[in-house]
């Protein structure tokens, strides 16, 4: 049976990678938030699966934390934020989407290669998914770089955090509970601060395009 | 018996393809009509169309070259050959070793080049417009299709279609994320290659949007019939290919006539379900702008490459 658990974890990892690419190629902000929510749900499921296989009880708490924070609270906050900010326009990208996708594939190859020697040393049931976790981190990075608006950048940041959690679960069955709680709190606080930033940026420039921030230097 | 049975099966497979291809198109059209609340054309409508077209005389443009007249037969022959390579009734066919998955892509490319040349031959604006669009779609779809085959080949360690199907049909049940990626990519490529709705509308006669129809505007009579038949064969071959790669259960291994009822019993329902799903996809999606097609096919290519990478990472690194 644990043979199938391993396969399910692999499948979830593949779905996670797919969702990262979907976010990279997504033009609409609302769908972007929904994809982020879905990614959180997949992360939660995979953590529960790893917990089932290994019997590590703290992973259940980690999964619960993911569920509450990344599937329920953060998407709700983001939805509320874009409603308040009244941003529903299509997301602008600095590089066109097919090119971004190709760069994404290069990043995936890079992170798969980088993860290979590490995962050979690890003895966990989910060790082979480490490459995918790193790829998710890289792709979120890429998303933050290629988007010019503030909200997608924040979603990229949050999705990167998903990737980090996934990497921790696949390489060492999760971080210590204190660290996990700390990161979760950091993300939450970061989200709140960034939310305040959004309003400030918009008030200052009438737009959420962060390219306007360059003007601050000239003043 | 040992020599006759495979040859007989091979001939039977070709005959089945020729008969079933229009039927499959008729079935897809019927499903689509039902889903869209229209009264459906009869299942045998494509046959009636052929009967009508074969009776009519061929009208040729004055400046049509011999290539224009030869193209329908070449395209039809390509598709018939492709239908003989894809294992549907048995994995052990005399034509099996003749061409592998890569050669199959080459056969499709040959047919595409000829239909594009024929479209440009007479020199009408629509013909060359359709030909250019077809080549645009083709050159984007081909690498994605090859990548799908490479993923399947990596899993089964062979590019021969017979070996791929044999490996897939006889393995123990396991979840292959890479095959899921490849399956989605293959579906997208098939939609584009067969001029189906998100990329091209098979029933349109609106000049600005058509691709396949634009190229064959100048054809009439039996030439048109052969081209339409070839297009239907292409849909059939792609369906069988998808079934063989991703749902290979029930394809008999040896070349034995006694397996024939079993093979048919597994092929026909699978084709029927596949056709109904195709109609569903076509009903649910809207036609894209032509300039969105590269993005659509780029996504297909990306999925196929991801499938291959995921296979290398997850399924071999243990």
Q: What is the pLDDT of residues B148-196, one digit of tens each?
A: 999 999 988 888 888 888 888 877 767 788 888 999 999 999 999 998 8
Q: How far apart are CA B192 and CA B138, in angstroms?
A: 8
Chain A within 8 Å of B284 (Cβ-Cβ)? no
Chain B within 8 Å of A13 (Cβ-Cβ)? yes
Q: How far apart are CA B137 and CA B195, in angstroms?
A: 10
By Cβ distance, the residue of A25, A98, A132 closest to B313 is: A132
* pLDDT of the residue at B71: 95
Q: How far apart are CA B81 and CA B85, in angstroms?
A: 7
Q: Nearest chain A Cα to B305, which residue? A: A105
Q: How far apart are CA B309 and CA A139, in angstroms?
A: 15
Chain A within 8 Å of B220 (Cβ-Cβ)? no
* pLDDT of the residue at A2: 63
Please list every residue in chain A whose beta carbon sits closer than 8 Å to the beta carbon of residue B299. 25, 101
Task: Give B147 to chain A, closest Cα distance, Å.
Answer: 14
Going by pLDDT thresholds of 50, 70 and 90, the confidence category of residue B286 is confident
Structure tokens at B229: 């038949």
If you average pLDDT over residues B99-122, what whole number do you get? 92
Render pLDDT for B209-267 as a digit per residue (tens, 0 to 9). Answer: 788 888 888 899 999 999 999 999 999 999 999 998 888 877 777 667 777 888 888 88
Ranges under pLDDT 70 in chain A: 1-2, 88-91, 124-126, 216-219
Task: Give B232 to chain A, closest Cα distance, Å.
Answer: 31
> Of A106, A126, A128, A125, which Cα lies nearest the Cα of A115?
A128
Stated pTM of the model: 0.88
Q: At what angle do helices B4-35 and B45-55 cross, to 10 degrees?
A: 110
Chain A within 8 Å of B306 (Cβ-Cβ)? yes
Structure tokens at A192: 């709140």
If you average pLDDT over residues B68-84, what whole number do you get? 94
Structure tokens at B179: 């095959």
Are B175 and A108 a contacting pair at CB < 8 A? no
By Cβ distance, the residue of A101, A105, A128 closest to B317 is: A128
If you average pLDDT over residues B48-71, what whole number do you get? 92
Look at residue B74 and tell me whether its pLDDT is greater than 90. yes
Are A128 and B313 a contacting pair at CB < 8 A? yes
Q: Domain residues for B264?
A: 4-315
Mutate to test the interface with B, among A1, A5, A10, A167 (most CBs of B within 10 A): A10
Are B180 and A14 a contacting pair at CB < 8 A? yes
Structure tokens at B177: 């994320």
Are B181 and A11 a contacting pair at CB < 8 A? no
Q: What is the mean pLDDT of chain B?
A: 88
Look at residue B317 and tell me whether its pLDDT is greater than 60. no
Phi-psi region of B171 (alpha: psi -120 to 50; beta: other; left: phi over 0): beta
Angle formed at CA B303 by CA B302 and CA B309, multiple of 5 degrees: 90
Of all helices (H) and strands (E), which one includes residue B81?
Answer: helix B66-85
If you average pLDDT over residues B96-124, what whole number do you get? 90
> Of B90, B119, B122, B76, which Cα lies nearest the Cα of B12?
B90
* pLDDT of the residue at A89: 65
* pLDDT of the residue at B189: 94
β-pair partners for A149: A209
Chain A within 8 Å of B295 (Cβ-Cβ)? yes
Going by pLDDT thresholds of 50, 70 and 90, the confidence category of residue B26 is very high
Are B306 and A108 a contacting pair at CB < 8 A? yes
> Of A13, A1, A11, which Cα lies nearest the Cα of A115?
A13
* pLDDT of the residue at B212: 87
Q: How far apart are CA B55 and CA B229, in angstroms?
A: 15
* pLDDT of the residue at A90: 65
Q: Nearest chain A Cα to B294, which residue? A: A98
If you average pLDDT over residues B277-283, what whole number do you get? 92
**B123 CB burial (10 A radius; 0-12, 13-18, 19+):** exposed
Instruction: Pick the more confident residue, B293 or B90.
Output: B293
Q: Nearest chain A Cα to B314, which residue? A: A128
3-state secondary structure (DSSP) of residue A147? strand
> Of A37, A33, A39, which Cα lies nearest the Cα of A17?
A39
* pLDDT of the residue at A19: 92
Going by pLDDT thresholds of 50, 70 and 90, the confidence category of residue B318 is very low
If you average pLDDT over residues B137-157, what whole number do you get? 92
* pLDDT of the residue at A219: 54
Residues 85-114 (A) with a CB less than 8 A from some CB of B: 97-98, 101-102, 104-105, 108-109, 112
Half-sphere exposure (CA, 13 Å, Cβ side) for A179? 9
Angle formed at CA A106 by CA A29 and CA A209, multiple of 5 degrees: 30
> How many Cβ pairs within 8 Å bridge chains A and B?
62
B129-143 as b/e: b if 16+ CB within 10 A: bbbbbbebbbebbbb
Q: Nearest chain A Cα to B293, which residue? A: A98
Q: Nearest chain A Cα to B304, which residue? A: A105
Q: How far apart are CA B61 and CA B67, in angstroms?
A: 13
B238-268 as b/e: b if 16+ CB within 10 A: bbbbbbbbbbbebbbeebeeebeeebeebbe
Q: How far apart are CA B87 and CA B111, in angstroms?
A: 20
Interface predicted TM-score (ipTM) of this complex, two decimals:
0.79
> Of B78, B297, B76, B89, which Cα lies nearest the Cα of B190?
B297
Chain B within 8 Å of A9 (Cβ-Cβ)? no
Structure tokens at B269: 């329902």
How many domains does chain B divide into?
A: 1
Residues 118-147 (A) with a CB less than 8 A from some CB of B: 119-120, 128-129, 131-132
């Amino acid at each position: 049976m644990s043979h199938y658990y391993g396969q399910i974890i692999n499948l979830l990892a593949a779905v996670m990678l797919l969702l990262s690419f979907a976010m990279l190629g997504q033009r609409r902000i609302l769908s972007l938030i929904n994809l982020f929510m879905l990614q959180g749900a997949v992360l939660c499921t995979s953590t529960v699966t790893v917990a089932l296989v290994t019997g590590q009880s703290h992973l259940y708490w980690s999964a619960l934390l993911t569920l509450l924070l990344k599937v329920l609270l953060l998407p709700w906050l983001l939805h509320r934020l874009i409603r308040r900010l009244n941003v529903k326009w299509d997301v602008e990208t600095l590089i066109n989407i097919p090119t971004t996708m190709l760069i994404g594939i290069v990043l995936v190859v890079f992170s798969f290669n980088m993860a290979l020697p590490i995962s050979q040393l690890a003895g966990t049931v989910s060790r082979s998914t480490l490459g995918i976790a790193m790829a998710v981190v890289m792709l979120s990075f890429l998303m933050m770089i290629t988007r010019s608006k503030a909200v997608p950048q924040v979603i990229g940041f949050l999705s990167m955090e998903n990737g980090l959690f996934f990497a921790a679960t696949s390489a060492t069955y999760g971080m210590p509970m204190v660290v996990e709680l700390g990161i979760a709190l950091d993300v939450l606080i970061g989200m709140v601060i960034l939310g305040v930033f959004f309003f400030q940026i918009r008030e200052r420039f009438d737009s959420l395009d962060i390219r306007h921030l360059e003007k601050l230097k000239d003043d | 018996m040992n020599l006759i049975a495979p040859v007989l099966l091979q001939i039977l497979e070709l005959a089945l393809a020729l008969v079933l291809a229009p039927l499959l198109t008729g079935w897809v059209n019927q499903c689509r009509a039902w889903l869209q609340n229209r009264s459906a054309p009869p299942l045998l409508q494509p046959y009636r169309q052929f009967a009508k077209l074969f009776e009519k005389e061929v009208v040729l443009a004055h400046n049509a070259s011999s290539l224009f007249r030869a193209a329908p037969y070449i395209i039809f022959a390509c598709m018939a050959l492709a239908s003989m390579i894809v294992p549907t009734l048995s994995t052990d066919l005399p034509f099996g070793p003749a061409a592998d998955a890569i050669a199959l892509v080459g056969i499709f490319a040959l047919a595409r080049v000829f239909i594009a040349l024929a479209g440009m031959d007479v020199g009408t604006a629509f013909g060359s417009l359709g030909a250019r669009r077809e080549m645009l779609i083709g050159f984007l779809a081909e690498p994605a299709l090859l990548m799908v085959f490479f993923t399947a080949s990596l899993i089964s360690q062979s590019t021969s279609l017979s070996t791929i199907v044999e490996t897939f049909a006889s393995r123990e049940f396991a979840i292959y994320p890479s095959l899921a990626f490849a399956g989605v990519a293959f579906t997208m490529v098939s939609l584009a290659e067969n001029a189906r709705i998100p990329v091209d509308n098979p029933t349109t006669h609106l000049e600005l949007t058509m691709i396949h129809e634009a190229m064959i505007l100048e054809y009439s009579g039996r030439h048109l019939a052969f081209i339409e038949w070839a297009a239907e064969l292409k849909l059939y071959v792609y369906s069988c290919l998808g079934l063989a790669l991703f749902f290979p259960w029930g394809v008999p291994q040896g070349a034995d006539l006694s397996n024939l009822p079993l093979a048919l019993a597994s092929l026909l329902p699978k084709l029927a379900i596949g056709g109904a799903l195709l109609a569903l996809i076509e009903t649910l999606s809207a036609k894209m702008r032509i300039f969105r097609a590269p993005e659509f096919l780029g996504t297909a290519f990306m999925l196929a490459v991801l499938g291959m990478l995921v296979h290398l990472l997850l399924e071999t690194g243990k």
